[in-house]
Amino acid sequence: MSASPAAPSPALMRRVVFASAIGNTVETYDYAVYGFLTVVLSKLFFPAQQPGVALLSAFAVFGVAFVVRPLGSLLFGSIADRLGRKPALVATIALMAGSTAAIGMLPPAASIGVWAPILLVVFRLLQGLAAGGEYGTAMTYAAEFTPPRKRGSMTSRVQIGSVASLLLAAGAVLLLSATLTPAAMASWGWRVPFLLALPLGLVGLYIRRQLDESPEFRALENRTQVPASPVKESFTTHWRLIVLIFAVAAFQQIGYYVAFTYAQSYLIRLGFTQSEATLATVISIAVAVVLVAVGGPLSDRWGRWPMLLGLSVGTFVLAYPLFVGLSSAKSLGAAIAMTVLLGVLPALYTAVAPAAYVEVLPARVRATVFAVGFALAATFLGGPALYVSQTLVQVTGDNRAPAMFLMFGALLSVIAAFFVRRATTRVRASELAVASGERSPEGV
């Protein structure tokens, strides 16, 4: 990278990790709450439709937030590369928390008619705008405080926030489902998880406002190498890296949403109750938190691209047998076991990928390229994951069909893994040349 950051104090690193992770926590929590409540929301916001069509409509609204993520990536990625990582982080968490709390205050279709789904879409779009810049900027910020030999460990700690937020969202839905009657859940209980985003966001906003700018961005400012137009530079000079980020993120996006969000709705359609399906998902996510904590440090020891390759290949081979087992589960114990197994490889992959994203990108446009590539993967693969998975089941009549979409994502990431090593080596060499004055920053 441009310069290995000096080792920061443990206290500073704890603040950096927490500040970066809490934004990812709010972002993923907001998306997960909607995913876990799609069955309830479909009845409240699309009551005139047939149950299967209403569920697909609710899944489509889940995906609509991903449509504007590329726009958010351009907006907030550009802010992060031109003005600093910190201003972008402050703006994204404020917008995300506010729009999620607004969903929790929406009247249902029975009260305001067609305006209910319209407003639901509007606030989901605002969520997507914020999410487009949150993940890439937070990972960039955390990684730029960290020496390369510890970057996997550092970014995986931030990633724990994303996975733990799934646990928080699933736990909140499970608790409400277990303690409230179906009528109370439909009347007001569903609002509670959305409204919890507001205090989470306010805490994150306060913490992020207290932090300093990242060392690598300060170094770019000192060398007057901050780009005037990071978006233009990203698309004219580094478009191949945008494609590479997209391909690496393919399995992360599909695997994440299929294993940890769609699985709950999938189990409900198999005949399990919402409480049982959510419990299986909670246990799977709890295991995933541990795996994410382990996966990052392992990538520091074994390397990013070998782990990305192995995990993608493993998923391509095992996805269909795992869905065979899950679709055949007759008891809650079997359903829990198969749901946990389905999430193992995606959890490890999502622990390794963030450090790989950072290390293939030059510092001066890192936030923009990262955000754009990741947002495009979210838009075209992650966002439609629930809808595509459910559509595959309904079109084919085969409960194992979602495995095909998971295998597709894994195949894209298998191909991408071969390019990660070469790109990392090239970027490190180029930025060292820039730092020593042997090469202009435009050449990186």
Do the domain assignments include residue 4? no
Domain tally, the chain: 1
> pTM of this prediction?
0.84
Helix axes 304-327, 332-359, angle to 10 degrees: 160
Cβ-contact 420, 356 below 8 angstroms? yes
Do the domain assignments include residue 5? no
Work out the mean pLDDT of the chain and round it to a whole number.
87
For 402-424, give the secondary structure using H, E and C.
HHHHHHHHHHHHHHHHHHHHHHH
- How far apart CA 389 and CA 87 sit, in angstroms, is 37
**CA nearest 103: which of 166, 176, 187, 197?**
197
Q: Name the range with the highest mean pLDDT among 146-150, 162-166, 197-201, 365-369.
A: 365-369
**CA nearest 357: which of 418, 301, 420, 440?**
420
Do the domain assignments include residue 2? no
Cβ-contact 293, 156 below 8 angstroms? yes
SS3 content of the chain, % helix, strand, coil (to 5): 85, 0, 15
- How far apart CA 144 and CA 354 sit, in angstroms, is 12
Reported confidence tier of residue 415, pLDDT bands at 50, 70, 90:
very high
52: domain range?
Answer: 10-443
Q: Looking at residues 368-390, what average pLDDT do you find?
A: 91
Do the domain assignments include residue 221? yes
Do the domain assignments include residue 192? yes
We report the CATH number of the domain holding residue 186 as 1.20.1250.20
For 246-267, b/e burial (b = at least 16 CB within 10 A) is bbbbbbbbbbbbbbbbbbbbbb
**CA nearest 162: which of 255, 49, 228?**
255
Residue 72, CB-side half-sphere exposure with 13 Å CA sphere: 31
444, pLDDT greater than 60: no
For 38-47, b/e burial (b = at least 16 CB within 10 A) is bbbbbbbbbe
pLDDT tens column, 234-254: 999 999 999 999 999 999 999
**What is the per-residue pLDDT for 217?**
92
Sole residue written with tokens 């490190």: 428
Do the domain assignments include residue 1? no
Residue 76: which H helix or E strand, with range? helix 69-82
Do the domain assignments include residue 126? yes
21, pLDDT greater than 90: no
Q: What letter represents residue 248's amino acid?
A: V
Higher pLDDT, 101 or 174: 101
